[in-house]
Amino acid sequence: MTVAAHAPARGLTGPDAARLLAEHGRNEVAADHRVPLWARVAAQLRDPLITVLLAAVALTLAIGDHPDAIVITLVIVINTSVGVVQEVRAESAVAALSRLSAPAARVVRDGVQRTVPSAEIVPGDVVALTEGDIVPADARLTEAAALLLDESMLTGESLPVTRSADPRAPGDDAVRAGTVVLRGRALAVVTATGADSALGRIAAMLRPRPEPTPLQRRLAGLGRVLAAVAVGLCALVFVLGLLRQQPPGEMGVTAISLAVAAVPESLPAVVTLALALGARRMAARHAVVRRLPAVETLGSVTVLATDKTGTLTEGRMVVERLWTPRSTATVTGLGYGPAGGIRIDGTTDGAVQGAADGAVNGTADIAVNSLLTAAALCNDAALRPPSGGDGQWGALGDPTEAALLTAAGKAGLDHRRLRETHPRVAETPFDSTRKRMSTVHRTPHGGLLACLKGAPETVLDPTVLADPPELLERARRAAAALAAEGYRVLAVAEQDLDRLPEPPEEAEHGLRLLGLTALADPPKPSAAATLATCRRAGILPVLITGDHPATARALAVRVGLLEPGAGPEVVVNGQAIATGAVSDLTRARIFARTDPRQKLDIVQAWRARGAVTAMTGDGVNDGPALRQADIGVAMGLRGTEVARQAADLVLADDELATVVGAVEEGRRVYDNIRRFLVFGLSGGAAEILVMLAGPLFGLALPLRAGQILWINLLTHGLTGVAMGAEPVSPGAMTRPPRPPHQHILGSGVWQRVLLLGLVVAAASLGAGLWAHDAERPWQTVLFLALLAAQLGTVLGLRERLLTRANLFLPLAVLASAALAAAALYLPFLRDVLDTAPLSWSDLAAPAAAGLAGFAAARLRKQGI
Ligand code: ATP
């Protein structure tokens, strides 16, 4: 494919991109596969219960029972339509979610870099790649710095490969769709998209198949057991009816209808819908669910492993203190703006030196100047002048680096000019495993200068620095003291070189220490409250950070993650994990100086303990841990594409509180499914009980087939679905998470089903018997009482009776009541359902049954 020639710096123009998109199609591996309506209807009709009902229609027609044939047909039509509608709603909710979490990429168009959905990338586009990006299409590199790619998803080769734009190494400049940038930066011109790309060619292998969630699988199993029990009991009703000389045809239809009514056939649909709608509500609260099972798992999370920078803290760094071998200084001013200055506080080497204080905007201290010059050169960030109404300067790139530029500015150094006078000729980028970076620059005098910055442990090392051991020791003590105050500390060093280092990492030996920079990153105002909510909800927060143990500890105490007096054993160092010195990782609350790969060990340790873990991550190496955690949580704004695509949950606002909100939604969904189960199963049990016990009390055939199906339609169909939208219970976040392996009918649900089933059956039979003795139309009274008792339980099962949060439920109950009335007072329905109109006094008995159902459901007030 030929690619339009243009200057990579400007990229395509908007109109060109649109034209190419129309020409080449979207950059997607497979178009959505839509299921036609007829196929959906056919799938519904293949449901065993519907097949049974179809047989019942044939049977009723054969014995000339036209009214029942009409009702059953009506039930089939309504059930099928409800099923199809639910399926379509659930699918569209899930599709909307996958659109929200669709991959994105950065392209240069009209000379500016912007983020676009990967699907809109066209051949000829210039894509910018940085650490953690997934290459969106096949492309040819035009510019690359230390680019390291993981191609394992295409080739299966687990060793990372380097790529360069070097024209002398043909073929080395090709990057392929689907591979991951582990390190470095690059610009590349897209050569092939969609099905033409490397990823497109193996798309069939990668296409995810929607799998049922664990809950759906468990419920399907439960459904089969219940169906077998119900069918057995219905067979019993049939046999007993025959023994009482009831006509076999009528008994057959009745038994079939009873089976249909008693089996909670809408259960899978209700569950899928509840999960999908739960996911939609989470999305409205900025938590985008990428896999449906996450919705149910979220409710049972017991451990929340969070990272620090940007999650518990603002992620807005500001340099506050400087340390050089000669002096200490304080930097004033907030944010990334130039306001503020540098004040030299005193000496650190014991020499007598008059403190040159009050030097605002520019400092005469040579040591401080060299420190900030190197920090500004070994730096990829930029500062964004105030643009919006808030008048705030912003950070472009890494906030740590941007803060260093701001500090340099306060010392009178202009980083843009510095970068012009000292062009970069080589670099070894930062990565969170090495925890340092270095750059090599050509100086105005034609020499070479290497600058390095990184975590003190990785810089204050005799293999890196050539300084005397006493100085290193002094710097280490200063770094530890600053970290204990909660600062993020970076050590900075430099050296003159006489030749270009090859490989560039060669520059990281024999340097001279320039000093330390201490950056403050205040905790988010919401962090303490969020962690307190976690605690109340029985979720244990732990902190995993790349930062220094003392920095992490200081922050943890400030946000209430750790008691101020907590012993040293709660803080574990990454190195100790690596050497296997920690026997039980689950005792720690803070993991500091961790390598992202150690997150995996931490997750596994917790999971081995039976914990359900949610883990936040944003980096390129966080993928495996995010996948391993029960709930991998990626940051939508700050996170890398790799992290986002590996996660179960993406936070659109990067707020930890959003995870907690999602947990609340998860608990709500689970509660509502259990509520529906209590309601549906107790209703089915009551119907069977009435049919079995009625004859013992002289009510030969308590209900007719059509009546049973009508009740089923009004209870399961309308109100059942409405129960899925019940609001979260007020106590949902003050109780511990449910045990992960708890059965869906566990912790009292089963008993409630039996109790409610008994009460509903007794109340309706009581009403029927009363009417029988009073020589009133008892079958109609019984029919209405059974319906009223079930509607009573629906209302009684609400956590908050008079809440206006889910008006759909009271409306559904009202609609059901109206349809029940229609069954009695509309002549056509009266004929097909074989009911009789009731007088006001007759209605008292069903009303009492309704109250009984309501009261029984209210017996347990909290939780479900
Ligand atoms: P958290 O996991 O809490 O978000 P983090 O992501 O900030 O922590 P890293 O980014 O891995 O952790 O940083 C680890 C350490 O590396 C920091 O404490 C700092 O000393 C050093 N460091 C961070 N950014 C840079 C950088 N751009 N250049 C050099 N060193 C850095």
CATH of the domain at 277: 1.20.1110.10
Q: Are residues 274 and 334 both part of a single domain? A: no
Q: Are residues 430 and 565 both part of a single domain? A: no
How many Å separate Cα 539 from the centre of its chain? 16
| Confidence (pLDDT) at 652 | 87
Instruction: Read off the pLDDT band of 718 (50, 70, 90).
Output: confident
Q: Give the C-alpha separation, 538 to 521, whole Å.
A: 28
Q: Are residues 742 and 618 both part of a single domain? A: no
The CATH number assigned to the domain holding 595 equals: 3.40.50.1000
Q: Are residues 390 and 507 both part of a single domain? A: yes
Residue 401 CB less than 6 A away from ligand 1: yes
Structural domains in the chain (count): 4
Q: Are residues 497 and 590 both part of a single domain? A: no
Of 126-140, 515-529, 716-730, give the range with the top mean pLDDT.
515-529
Instruction: Read off the pLDDT band of 351 (50, 70, 90).
Output: very low
Residue of 569, 576, 611, 609 lying closest to 590 (CA atoms): 569
Q: Which pairs from 93-99 meet CB under 8 Å and 24+ separation?
A: 93/276, 93/277, 93/279, 93/280, 94/210, 94/276, 94/279, 94/292, 95/32, 96/280, 96/283, 97/279, 97/280, 97/283, 97/288, 97/289, 97/290, 98/290
213, pLDDT greater than 70 = no
Mutate which of 451, 453, 489, 490 to test ligand 1's pocket (most atoms within 8 Å of Cβ)?
A: 490
Residue 601: active-site member: no
The protein residue with its alpha carbon nearest to ligand 1, atom 30, reads: 454
208, pLDDT greater than 60 = no
Q: Which of 219, 237, 254 delimits the end of a domain?
A: 219
353, pLDDT greater than 70 = no
For residue 248, is it within any domain? no
The protein residue with its alpha carbon nearest to ligand 1, atom 25, reads: 454
Instruction: At 586, list the tokens.
Output: 């689950």
What secondary structure letter does DSSP report for 193? Answer: -
CA of 398 to the centre of ligand 1 (A): 10
Q: What are the tens digits of pLDDT across the range 366-378?
A: 899 999 999 999 9
| Confidence (pLDDT) at 206 | 43
Residue type, 605: A
Q: Are residues 205 and 323 both part of a single domain? A: no
Q: In this predicted structure, which of 2-16, 252-266, 494-508, 582-596 has the lowest mean pLDDT?
A: 2-16
Q: Which residue has the higher pLDDT, 629 or 716?
A: 629
Q: Do the strands 571-573 and 590-592 form a parallel or antiparallel pair, or are they unpaired? A: parallel
For residue 242, is it within any domain? no
Mean pLDDT, residues 772-797 taken together: 92
Q: Per the residue annotation, which of 307, 365, 380, 601 is the catalytic one? A: 307
Q: What are the tens digits of pLDDT across the range 552-561?
A: 999 999 999 9
Please work out, in degrees rounded to the nearest 5, the angle formed at the alpha carbon of residue 494 by the alpha carbons of 492 and 495. 165
Instruction: Read off the pLDDT band of 605 (50, 70, 90).
Output: very high
Q: What are the tens digits of pLDDT across the range 27-55?
A: 876 655 677 888 888 887 777 667 777 88
For residue 346, is it within any domain? yes
For residue 291, is it within any domain? no
Mean pLDDT, residues 239-245 taken together: 85
How many Å separate Cα 672 from the centre of its chain? 20
170, pLDDT greater than 90 = no
Instruction: List beta partners, residue 325.
Output: none
Mutate which of 377, 432, 621, 633 to test ligand 1's pocket (most atoms within 8 Å of Cβ)?
A: 432
Residue 696: exposure state from Cβ atoms within 10 A (0-12, 13-18, ≥19): exposed
Residue 433 CB less than 6 A away from ligand 1: no
Residue of 696, 820, 848, 681 lying closest to 764 (CA atoms): 848
687, pLDDT greater than 80 = yes
What is the pTM for the complete model shown? 0.80
Q: Give the C-alpha separation, 681 to 76, whole Å.
A: 21
Q: Are residues 463 and 569 both part of a single domain? A: no
Q: Give the C-alpha separation, 110 to 645, whole Å.
A: 28
What is the pLDDT of the chain when averaged over all its residues?
85
The CATH number assigned to the domain holding 16 equals: 2.70.150.10
Instruction: At 757, list the tokens.
Output: 């089933």
CA of 797 to the centre of ligand 1 (A): 51
For residue 385, is it within any domain? yes
| Confidence (pLDDT) at 360 | 41
Please work out, in degrees rounded to the nearest 5, the angle formed at the alpha carbon of residue 190 by the alpha carbons of 189 and 196. 160
How many Å separate Cα 55 from the centre of its chain? 45
Q: Do the strands 112-117 and 104-109 form a parallel or antiparallel pair, or are they unpaired? A: antiparallel
For residue 858, is it within any domain? yes
Mutate which of 400, 453, 492, 555 to test ligand 1's pocket (most atoms within 8 Å of Cβ)?
A: 400
For 207-246, b where at least 16 C-beta lie within 10 A, e where not — what string? eeeeeebebbeebeebbeebbeebbebbeebbebbeeeeb
Q: What are the tens digits of pLDDT across the range 77-105?
A: 887 887 788 778 777 776 776 666 678 88
3-state secondary structure of 427: strand
| Confidence (pLDDT) at 862 | 55
C-beta separation of 787 from 714 below 8 A: yes
CA of 430 to the centre of ligand 1 (A): 9
Instruction: Read off the pLDDT band of 361 (50, 70, 90).
Output: very low
For residue 255, is it within any domain? no
Instruction: Read off the pLDDT band of 359 (50, 70, 90).
Output: very low
Range of the domain at 173: 1-219
